[in-house]
A and B are shown apart, each in its own frame.
Chain A
Amino acid sequence: MIGSDSGFADDIVPDELPVHLEPRREKFLPWHRVRKEFIRQHLWNALTKRRVSDSWVITRETPNETAAHTIGGEVGASSSAPVGLGTPLSCLVIPGDDLLDIRALRRDLGLPACHIRYLGFNESAGSDHVSTQVHVANNAVTSLVGVARDSRVLHDRFQSIAKPGTQAYRYLKEYGPYHVVNLDLCGSLFPTESADTQEYYTAIHNLLSYQFLAQTTKWLLFITTQVEPSRADIGQFAALCQPTRENYRRHGTFAERLKAEFPDDVFHEGTATASLAALAEEQSVSLFGIALGKWLMALGHGSEPKWTITMRHSYRYTIRVDNDRGVAMLSLAFEFERNASAPVDSAGVSSLRVSPKKYKSEAECALKLIELVGQMEDVDHILASDVQLRSDLLKSKADLLQASGYDRDKYLKWVDDGEIVT
């Protein structure tokens, strides 16, 4: 094997010379658009903040250090303790190269509400240009008061957690369980012929499996995904709709509501595939929202103990892809609550009166889901009709970018010029 490239040399000499970073931050990308700021403030951070103010003890004092469970923060308690002062808000995120989501979350939560500890997934965090930027951004963000210093961004795809044997899955356990999971996917959860969505679903399934066993308090799941019905993989789509069809079959009111919006055939085993293909684009988008929600609910219902999953008011917008074709984006929010209840002594032998905790039934949640998918607001419309809101958002977005080292004037100009990504 003389002269072969593979072999002994592989382990001795690295393949490439290292590359340095371009320090300028002048290139603007889709997530720098103003509407993303709307999603952050009005969906993700608003719900997270409510979650925090419901359960965290808010105090002016810095939590004391002796209890430190979280490194790098001043805070901590064992993860099994009830949420309280000192428990970090643990987040699983796909935060992008500048970690703007984390910066914005910290800003919107306000201090000294609670301490953020995050695990991020970013495929680009290797050793090239972008990655240096990620390293520097991570250093900056974790240096902020209110962020745990051992928070980190992995150079892994989120989908890697699909397999329990991966390094990514080890990190999942190391940083979990989570109060907030924000899957701002670059790919799509909508089954299309080109994308391998199964890996995403497996990853989410594995994530829920972990969370259901490890988490005890309420938690939030945000999913942002493209929906492109024109390229649907109908077979896969039909499979995703299975829990919805099942619910349709078994629950009259649910079926009524669906019938009001979709042709009946969609929900019958034999005709589902053909009729899904015939749906109007808008119908497909809504049905996908319902199907995804229902799929999650079925997982929650099928686990032990059960988890109640409620959809929260969500949003949508449109992105332009090649040839200015519009593609729908959905930004969905779900709240997960574990069904746990103290034992009731039906014999009446004990004098303790326990009223069993009532959780919303799966049917109730399913009806709410249809309602909320129908009520999803279009962020583009909101911004177009509310000039004040848009300019407020623009300002806070510009502040955020400036704080992350971007050129504010260039940014404002970019927005003025129509937010065109080159």
Chain B
Amino acid sequence: MSSSQQSLADQIRQSETTRRWVETTLSTDERVLARITDGIYRQPASALRELISNAYDADATEVIILTDAPRFSEIAVRDNGRGLSPEILEHLILHIGGSPKRSDYGKFLGVAAPDNSTKSPGGRTLIGKLGIGLFSVAQFTHHFLIITKTAGDKYRTVADITLGLMEGQTQRTTVNEDGRSGFTTGHARIWREHAEDVESQGTEIKLLDLLPRTRAELASEDIWTRVASETDDPQAKATTPPRLHIGRMTTPQGDVLDHQPQLPWTEADSPDERFCKFVGAVRASADTHTGSVDLETLCDHYLQTLWTLALAAPLEYFQVHPFDLRKEDGLSFFELENAPRGQATNLPISGSETARKSLKLQAPDGTFGQPFKVFIDGMRLRRPILYLGLPRTANALQTPLLFVGRHQQHFEGKPRVLSGGSLSFEAYLFWAPKIVPKQHQGVVLRVGNASGSLFDRTFMGYQIQEQQRTRQLTAEIFVHEGLDDALNLDRESFNYAHPHYQYLVKWLHSALRQFANKHKELGAALHAERVAAHGLEVRTGIDDSVAKALKERGVEDVPKVVLADVSTLDEAGGLRSEGAVVLRRDVVLPPSGARRGTRLERDRRHTAGSKAMALAQLLHGWGLMDTLTYGEQEKLIRDILEIMMVEAK
């Protein structure tokens, strides 16, 4: 091996002629970072997300992920970005936790733009900043390859990396060449190989020898074990496999599947068609099943992972960026006010105009400039948030609402060290009667258009009793400047004490209040309209008390309920698709011994009918019916009615 005076990069280059690999240890100056490479922090989806982010930062236009699902014997993540020069690789290996991005050294290495270290050379806002993201692969494996090439290089560089200590090694602490003590986190063998494709560029991270627990997790072993164990027990109500799944191997080592995949797409479908069918299947399950659509029960872990990645990565929207929605898409638009007691106002946009245009919003659909496409196992991912064609419900208000806001806060007059500098962002709150899937209820914070966390259903700790309303909300905050420092190491949570985070909490809660007021206003107006339309109808006490009770609950628009004289659920379907709750009269009304047609019996059935409708309105208004099937809903109402009738006797 070459002299230790030589830089690692030089040694790597020398392997071109010596045809010998360079052997080196991976090290970090900090114990805590040494632990990160042990993979204690992250979930499988997070590791893939980090690799996608690295490709994005390297100005790749395309990332191809091949997972070998459902076997998961090895995973490849491959991009066509700038690649790692021996110098970048040297930095990566000897300075774990010291990202060159966003530094002058990064400009020198060519991982940051020459004139702006927060941007990639291609002009993207860099996601990376810590220098540990790559090592999140420790979640998957302790053995991986980096195969990388920069354009114009006559060689590609291969690094064969193992994490953890080598056999025979017992000490973690090592002394670096410059005398500082460091912590060993792994080993690398690096060499250069002649390349025919001089002009090509890109990086492939090949994860080998996947850890059994990761394979089990990706392969949804917990779900399949449940399915299997309950079929053993004839008494138990069978747990069925998720409706959508990638299949299951009989044994992890084997090559045979005992459950063939249940997917909404086929091999013949193009990458776009596959994703379209995937999202389509999730959306469609809102029509075939009552209640909220829950990815966790609908999909196996693998498909959930795809969905999570699609939400997290800086991708184009599946349908349309919310800022590009139009009046003619059938929504109502509002602008949020940036003041503590502000009120949302109608955003006057017409026809084919968009919020983007009228408010001059910046957040890109995908990326500025060069596209960024992510393919996973032959499927092209897009951000799967739906704004159009969502299901109708019993709500009186059916028109989706889009609340848009933007803000810049320079914290003028405050010391920068305390304020964290400027914060600038754009955001929207999208309301619809039903958000599909339920995982999209909440708010996501995006720094640089990517996101590590999933939707926060608490809306950053929103206190007020607005459960019903907030379950019908999807919100995203696109942070253009600031907040970055508030991001924790795992990139999945924030330092709540950071002023930028605090500021966003306040802003969001104000936005929620503005939304709630507007929503109430619209609901009340609709209610008044209805009352006026049915003015002649004699109002019973029951109606009033339902309306009052729901209002206390924060629900303005009383669900529409129809008692129908139909016998099958299918027949009720037509009415239901118009957004009403449909109850079959003969099913919900308990029979009595009395003869039909008598006056007494008619009155009794009439009262019972009113009560059934009121019950349904209450239960729906509270959102308690969401998890039940239509049949179960009817059964519940009938059971309650029965008890009430007993007391009446």
Q: With A127-B209, A163-B256 as given contacts, are A24 and B19 in contact (CB-CB < 8 Å)?
A: yes
Partner of A136, one of B62, B193, B270: B193
Chain A 116-138 interface mask (CB, 8 Å, partner B; 1/0):
00000000001100011001100
CB distance from B619 to the nearest CB of A (A): 45
> Within residues 135 to 153 of chain B, which ones have a CB less than 8 A from any CB in chain A?
142-143, 145, 147, 149
B191 at the interface (CB under 8 A from A): yes
Residues of B contacting A18 in the complex (Cβ-Cβ under 8 angstroms) = 142-143, 162, 208-209
Contact in complex: B191, A71 (CB < 8 Å) = no
CB distance from A125 to the nearest CB of B (A): 9
Residues of B contacting A76 in the complex (Cβ-Cβ under 8 angstroms) = 270
CB distance from A142 to the nearest CB of B (A): 8
Contact in complex: B256, A71 (CB < 8 Å) = no
Residues of A contacting B158 in the complex (Cβ-Cβ under 8 angstroms) = 21, 23, 132, 136
Contact in complex: B197, A140 (CB < 8 Å) = yes
Chain A 75-95 interface mask (CB, 8 Å, partner B; 1/0):
010111000000000000000
Contact in complex: B64, A71 (CB < 8 Å) = yes
Provide the bound-state CA to CA distance between A412 and B66, in Å.
38
Residues of B contacting A80 in the complex (Cβ-Cβ under 8 angstroms) = 268
Residues of B contacting A152 in the complex (Cβ-Cβ under 8 angstroms) = 66, 76
CB distance from A6 to the nearest CB of B (A): 13
> Within residues 239 to 260 of chain B, which ones have a CB less than 8 A from any CB in chain A?
247, 249, 255-258, 260
Beta-carbon nearest neighbor of A79 in chain B: B268
CB distance from A75 to the nearest CB of B (A): 12
Q: With A21-B189, A79-B268 as given contacts, are A150 and B197 in contact (CB-CB < 8 Å)?
A: no
CB distance from B369 to the nearest CB of A (A): 16
A250 at the interface (CB under 8 A from B): no
> Within residues 1 to 22 of chain A, which ones have a CB less than 8 A from any CB in chain B?
10-12, 14, 17-18, 20-21
Chain B 182-210 interface mask (CB, 8 Å, partner A; 1/0):
00000001010111110010101010110
Provide the bound-state CA to CA distance between A159 and B56, in Å.
39
A418 at the interface (CB under 8 A from B): no
A165 at the interface (CB under 8 A from B): yes
Provide the bound-state CA to CA distance between A165 and B254, in Å.
11
CB distance from A36 to the nearest CB of B (A): 19
Provide the bound-state CA to CA distance between A68 and B191, in Å.
34
Provide the bound-state CA to CA distance between A11 and B212, in Å.
5
Give the A-B pair count, Cβ closer than 8 A: 134
B216 at the interface (CB under 8 A from A): yes
Contact in complex: A144, B255 (CB < 8 Å) = no
A72 at the interface (CB under 8 A from B): yes
Number of interface residues of B (CB under 8 A): 58
CB distance from A212 to the nearest CB of B (A): 16
Provide the bound-state CA to CA distance between A72 and B76, in Å.
14
CB distance from A283 to the nearest CB of B (A): 39
Partner of B194, one of A14, A79, A174, A405: A405
Contact in complex: A144, B200 (CB < 8 Å) = yes
Q: How large is the interface on A (under 10, 10 to 19, 20 to 34, 35 or more residues)?
A: 35 or more
Contact in complex: B378, A403 (CB < 8 Å) = no
Contact in complex: B194, A402 (CB < 8 Å) = yes
CB distance from A350 to the nearest CB of B (A): 33
CB distance from B71 to the nearest CB of A (A): 5
Contact in complex: B196, A20 (CB < 8 Å) = no
Q: With A23-B20, A139-B204, A144-B197 as given contacts, are A150 and B64 in contact (CB-CB < 8 Å)?
A: yes
Provide the bound-state CA to CA distance between A156 and B249, in Å.
14
A155 at the interface (CB under 8 A from B): yes
Contact in complex: A135, B145 (CB < 8 Å) = yes
Contact in complex: B256, A166 (CB < 8 Å) = yes
Residues of A contacting B156 in the complex (Cβ-Cβ under 8 angstroms) = 136, 139-140, 143
Q: With A72-B62, A78-B270 as given contacts, are A140 and B189 in contact (CB-CB < 8 Å)?
A: no
Partner of A72, one of B64, B71, B213: B64
Q: With A166-B256, A173-B267 as given contacts, are A140 and B378 in contact (CB-CB < 8 Å)?
A: no
Contact in complex: B256, A165 (CB < 8 Å) = yes
Beta-carbon nearest neighbor of B246 in chain A: A170
Contact in complex: B209, A14 (CB < 8 Å) = yes
CB distance from B13 to the nearest CB of A (A): 14
Provide the bound-state CA to CA distance between A69 and B378, in Å.
9
CB distance from A344 to the nearest CB of B (A): 30
Provide the bound-state CA to CA distance between A21 and B80, in Å.
25
CB distance from B302 to the nearest CB of A (A): 14
Contact in complex: B143, A167 (CB < 8 Å) = no
Beta-carbon nearest neighbor of A174 in chain B: B267
Partner of A166, one of B147, B166, B194, B255: B255
> Within residues 384 to 416 of chain A, which ones have a CB less than 8 A from any CB in chain B?
402-405, 407
Contact in complex: A23, B15 (CB < 8 Å) = yes
A318 at the interface (CB under 8 A from B): no
Contact in complex: A17, B167 (CB < 8 Å) = yes
Residues of A contacting B167 in the complex (Cβ-Cβ under 8 angstroms) = 17
Beta-carbon nearest neighbor of A16 in chain B: B209
A242 at the interface (CB under 8 A from B): no
Beta-carbon nearest neighbor of B189 in chain A: A20
> Within residues 27 to 67 of chain B, which ones have a CB less than 8 A from any CB in chain A?
62, 64, 66
B426 at the interface (CB under 8 A from A): no
A57 at the interface (CB under 8 A from B): no
Contact in complex: B196, A170 (CB < 8 Å) = no
Residues of A contacting B430 in the complex (Cβ-Cβ under 8 angstroms) = none
Residues of A contacting B209 in the complex (Cβ-Cβ under 8 angstroms) = 14, 18, 127
Provide the bound-state CA to CA distance between A16 and B192, in Å.
27
CB distance from A405 to the nearest CB of B (A): 5
Q: With A140-B195, A144-B197, A173-B267 as given contacts, are A14 and B19 in contact (CB-CB < 8 Å)?
A: no
Beta-carbon nearest neighbor of A407 in chain B: B19
Beta-carbon nearest neighbor of B208 in chain A: A127
Provide the bound-state CA to CA distance between A166 and B251, in Å.
12
Provide the bound-state CA to CA distance between A14 and B162, in Å.
13
Provide the bound-state CA to CA distance between A136 and B212, in Å.
24
Residues of B contacting A127 in the complex (Cβ-Cβ under 8 angstroms) = 74, 143, 208-209
Chain A 159-180 interface mask (CB, 8 Å, partner B; 1/0):
0100101111010011010000
A420 at the interface (CB under 8 A from B): no
Provide the bound-state CA to CA distance between A202 and B29, in Å.
58
CB distance from B42 to the nearest CB of A (A): 18
> Within residues 164 to 223 of chain A, which ones have a CB less than 8 A from any CB in chain B?
165-168, 170, 173-174, 176
B160 at the interface (CB under 8 A from A): yes
Contact in complex: A71, B212 (CB < 8 Å) = no
Residues of B contacting A126 in the complex (Cβ-Cβ under 8 angstroms) = 208
CB distance from B127 to the nearest CB of A (A): 23
Residues of B contacting A144 in the complex (Cβ-Cβ under 8 angstroms) = 196-197, 200
B455 at the interface (CB under 8 A from A): no
CB distance from A92 to the nearest CB of B (A): 14
Chain B 218-262 interface mask (CB, 8 Å, partner A; 1/0):
000000000000000000000000000001010000011110110
B343 at the interface (CB under 8 A from A): no
Beta-carbon nearest neighbor of B260 in chain A: A165
A-B CB contact pairs (8 Å), 19 listed: A14-B211, A17-B166, A20-B162, A21-B21, A21-B158, A69-B271, A71-B64, A78-B268, A79-B268, A139-B156, A143-B195, A143-B197, A144-B196, A149-B64, A150-B378, A167-B249, A170-B261, A403-B194, A404-B196
A contact set with B: CB distance below 8 Å: 10-12, 14, 17-18, 20-21, 23-24, 68-69, 71-72, 76, 78-80, 126-127, 131-132, 135-136, 139-140, 143-145, 149-150, 152, 155-156, 160, 163, 165-168, 170, 173-174, 176, 402-405, 407
Nearest 10 A/B pairs, CB to CB: A18-B143, A127-B208, A11-B212, A23-B191, A403-B196, A143-B200, A139-B147, A173-B267, A143-B197, A20-B189
Extra pairs beyond A144-B200, A149-B78 (15, CB < 8 Å): A17-B166, A18-B143, A24-B20, A71-B271, A76-B270, A126-B208, A132-B160, A136-B193, A139-B78, A140-B193, A140-B196, A143-B202, A165-B258, A166-B257, A167-B255
B contact set with A: CB distance below 8 Å: 15, 19-21, 62, 64, 66, 68, 70-71, 73-74, 76, 78, 80, 142-143, 145, 147, 149, 156, 158, 160, 162, 166-167, 189, 191, 193-197, 200, 202, 204, 206, 208-209, 211-213, 216, 247, 249, 255-258, 260-261, 267-268, 270-271, 375, 378, 380
